Amino acid sequence: MNRRVYLAAVGTSVSAGLAGCTSTLGVFDSEPCNDDACHIGMTRTDFVPEEYEATVGETVVWKNTSEAIHTVTALETGIPDEAEYFATGGYGDEKTAREGWHEDHGGGLETRETFEYTFEVPGTYDYICIPHVGADMVGRVVVSE
């Protein structure tokens, strides 16, 4: 056997094997937050669970359990009037949050980073991931007394 051909074939199979191992986080996609450290996980284009039930005073923790960058951005028209606005990056309103993302990916949550918010007002809270809202990456937290 020609030695150069043999090496080329080995090189191919090695790199193919490595490529198959790069996405270790994918194993947890069906249940990305399987410990007490977070409540809502983020896969490639989904918040999991998409709807989360909380009680007043509860601090909810989101964790980016994927290899993509996400945001947690409340919709101003989708949260109770009395509730304090929330968004990754600490933006005070939805418009600024959207501008921050489009300017320099402000508010982006990297792999394994977390974001938390304490829900003080009962009601329904709708939020989105700005870069993936087109892929229907939306979530809801329902807060009861």
Q: Which residue ranges make up the site for Cu ion (CB under 5 A)?
A: 70, 129, 132, 137
Q: Which residues contact 136 (CB under 8 A, 6 or more apart)?
A: 45
Residue 139 pairs with which residues in a beta bridge? 127
Q: Take residue 67 and report the two structure tokens written for it.
A: 């290899």
Please identify, using beta-carbon distances, which residue of 108 and 125 lies nearer to Cu ion: 108
Q: How far is the CB of 18 from Cu ion (least distance, A)?
A: 26
Write the DSSP string, 80-122: -TTSPP-BTT--SSHHHHHHHHHHH-TTPBPTT-EEEEE--S-
Nearer residue to Cu ion within complex by CB, 25 or 122: 25
Kindly state the smallest distance separating residue 68's Cβ from Cu ion, in Å. Answer: 6
Task: For the CB of residue 95, give the shortest distance to Cu ion in the complex, in Å.
Answer: 19
Q: Which is nearer to Cu ion, 69 or 143 (CB)?
A: 69
